[in-house]
Amino acid sequence: MKRSLALLISMLLGAVFLVSTGPAATAAPYCGIYWGSLAKSDLTGSANASIANVRSGQHPCFDRLVIDVYGDLQGYDVRYVPVVLEDASGIPVPVRGSGDLQVVATAWNGGPDMPQTYFPRNESELVNVTGYSTFRQVAYAGTHEAQTRFALGVRARLPFRTFILDGPGTGSRLVVDVAHFW
């Protein structure tokens, strides 16, 4: 009888352990986001595009940065860095937030024998991100050797995704989405 009671208690404790650890280990990610925070890069093509505009938007699960370009954008490199450095000069481009996301588009914004195509009013505040859940600041960090760099200050090192969209017209867009939470 004592042996049966001890076996029953150990089985009950084992069942409680399995039930208490099972669902917590398989919890769904925030808004179904599986992006991660590691660098995302696709630098397969050469620059035959130039920067047209920078804009942003808010979504229920993420904030979005869009870099519009004239022509077909062929590549990008987006990653968290300790501090974004200005192209060519190496001067730090400080931005608000606890995470500095460096966004590089394989596209010109002027250069040798090329006219400038994007004229930001304020290089430190390209778009107004006041009230955004994740974004804190978007700054211009220069263009050099067919790469244009931007500094995106975010609230923390959060998951992000990056992709290129065609259009409108003959242009294209580099999109960077940063999740509000993990």
166 and 107 co-located in one domain: yes
51 and 89 co-located in one domain: yes
Condensed to tens digits (0 to 9), the pLDDT of residues 40-70 reads 999 876 678 899 999 999 999 999 999 999 9
23 and 107 co-located in one domain: no
Q: For residue 13, count CB atoms less than 10 angstroms from its CB and return exposed for 0-12, middle for 13-18, buried for 19 or more.
A: exposed
Residues 6+ apart with CB under 8 A from 104: 76, 77, 78, 147, 148, 149, 150
78 and 151 co-located in one domain: yes
pLDDT of 8 > 50? The answer is no
8 and 43 co-located in one domain: no
β-sheet bridge partners, residue 179: 62
Q: Closest Cα to residue 109, out of 94, 126, 93?
A: 126
Q: What pTM did the predictor assign?
A: 0.81
42 and 20 co-located in one domain: no
25 and 39 co-located in one domain: no
Q: Report the CATH number that the domain containing residue 140 is assigned in CATH.
A: 2.60.40.3500
Domain of residue 23: give its range.
2-29
